[in-house]
Each structure stands twice: as C-alpha cells, then as structure tokens.
Amino acid sequence: MIIGLTGKNGSGKGEVARYLEERGFHYYSLSDVLREAAQKEGLEVTRENLIEIGNRLRSERGPGVLAEAIFSRLDPEKHYIVDSIRHPSEVEVFRRRRDFFLAQVKAPQRLRFERIKQRAREKDPITFEEFVAVEEKEGVSSERAHQQLDKTITLADIVFDNAGPLKMLHEQVKEVLLSLSKKEERPDWDNYFMGIAKVVALRSNCMKRKVASVITKDKRIIATGYNGTPRGVKNCFEGGCPRCNNIEASGKSLEECLCSHAEENAIVQSAYHGVKIKGSTIYTTFSPCLMCTKMIINAGIKEVVYNVSYPMSEVSLRLLEEAGVLIRKLELVQN
C-alpha cells in the first residue's frame, strides 16, 4: 500500500513516517524532488527556496509534477510512505493506484509552534506571529500552481490526531494499518491468470502482435504459450517469418505466416510434455482465430476467457458456442 502524508508544519508527519519505516515501509518525500532541484541550481536548501522551486515547477510542468516524479519510482510489490503532499493534483496522481490512502496528521496550532521551537531548525519562524503568517501563506493561494495545503487536507482518507503522547499516535497508526490490510484487494483467479498471460506475452518473438495463452485446471497453470516461429526456427523479429518482416497489412497473406499462435503453442506444448488438458480453461490475451478455435474444441478445453477481441473472431466465437465451449470476455482490473 501507499500512505501519503499531509498536514501543517510541526503536526508530526515525520514521526508517522519514522514509525512506518521501522515496519518495512519505503520512504519518499515530495520535498526530496525539490531538494534535488535546489542542488542542481546551486541554491541553499531552505524552506523558502523549496517553496519557490515547487511553485515554479508546478507552473512550468503542471501541478502534479512532484508527485509524478515519485510515482514513477514506486514498485507495486512494496509498501511506501510518501511525505509532504501539499497540492490536490499530487493526490490525483497517487490515486491512480487503488492502494493509495492519504493521511492527515493534525495537532493544535500552539502545540505545533512549540514543537517547531524545540527542534530549532535554521530559518524556522521565531515568533508565533511569524509561524501563523507562514502557515497562512502555505495553506491557501490564488495561484493554481502554488501550494494548496488547506484543500489537500480536505481530501484525507485518514486523520491522525497528534495532540497527545507519541504512544497514542503510534497506536492510531497501528490500528489504521491493521484496518487497511484487511481491506487490501487480491486479484481474483480470472485477473490472476490473465495477468500472468500478459507477462507471458512479453516472450513473444512476433513482430506484428504479442499474444499469449495460459491453460489452467483446478486453479493451477498446466501450460503456457506465446506466438512466434516454431522451435528451432529463427525468431520472427530476426527475420524468421517473411510475411511479418514484409510488414504486411493486417489480415493479408496469413497463409504465408510462419508464426504459431499462442493458443496453438499452449496446446502443442501440453502434448509435447504429455500434459492432459481435457476439461481445462484457456486464458488468452486475444480471442482465438478459427484455426486455434478448432484446436481448442478438439483438445477438450471447456472454457475460453479472452481479454481483447481478435479482428476476425466472429466465426470462431459462434463455433465455440455451437461446440458447447464457454466463452467469456474479461476486462482486467487495473491497480
């Protein structure tokens, strides 16, 4: 999961981040992007400079630019904590992941000022009046590209109240983690197998189209196949198929194509290794052509699940239906 942090200065976002880091979360801060930019420009890394650089980058490249820089680094297999989210457009970027949650850390203004004084960072406000003035400047701006912290806070999915001892804050974070973990969505079997088929397609050596199939039985993969030239023949992208390398128009000169189809390869591989596929389900990234349809029927496959319709598949689908083979089109769920 990805937990984004927002909140006023001195609220305790850093403490939440430290707690999560100790529990395996990988830390990023949108301020890191600003620090990198400041160093490249030879500027001192101060709060004022970072705010100015952030406003400039948002004006030049769009209000979500800082989030985009971090989003591109995220591995879907890891948990992340992302600090310093200060603009609604940054939230929009991270919401492209269904496992993103925005957390606000809040505390009373006077208490936050006392914390700022205790940490005694250079350039931090010295008086309460200076502290309030800086906070108002960061909270609201008539410029769309400037920080919009107040609006960002209203988008929070979670609120951590840091008005008490750290133990109380840590307990809140722990409870939220347990709650979110219970809500974590796993792919169903259809999306699981079709997702694997999408990865198998990356092994295709065909120049024209990358297609793959996965044959399953009892929720277990028993064969895979992708399109390309036959075993022992030069790969299509290396010149092995004259038709593909001639860049023929789609649907033309198919009788000259040397590439085997994904469904064909999955079925043939099963026979090659002596694996029974009668009564199985085949997941294929494209609906089968007529040749593969006949192979599917005669192999005893009971169900075809496909993701994208093949341009010339009407006859194939009618034939599968007539033969009593179940057919389903599956739209993949995006994370």
HSE toward the beta carbon, residue 290, CA cutoff 13 A? 7
- Measured CA distances, 57 to 34, 52, 80 (Å): 9, 9, 24
| Residue among 90, 138, 263, 264 flagged as catalytic | 263
**Rounded distance between C-alpha atoms, residue 297 and residue 285, angstroms:** 18
Structure tokens at 101: 């949650």
Beta bridge partners of 102: 4
184 noted as active-site residue: no
Q: For residue 304, how many C-alpha atoms fall within 13 Å in the half-sphere facing its CB? A: 32
CA angle 46, 51, 56 (to 5 degrees): 125
Record the tokens describing residue 174, joined without a space: 């722990």
Asked whether the beta carbons of 32 and 17 are under 8 A apart, the reply is: no
Distance CA 82, CA 97 (A): 13
Tell me if 303 sits within 8 A of 325, measured CB to CB. Answer: yes
Q: Report yes or no: 27 and 21 within 8 Å, Cβ to Cβ.
A: yes
- Which residues are part of the catalytic machinery? 263
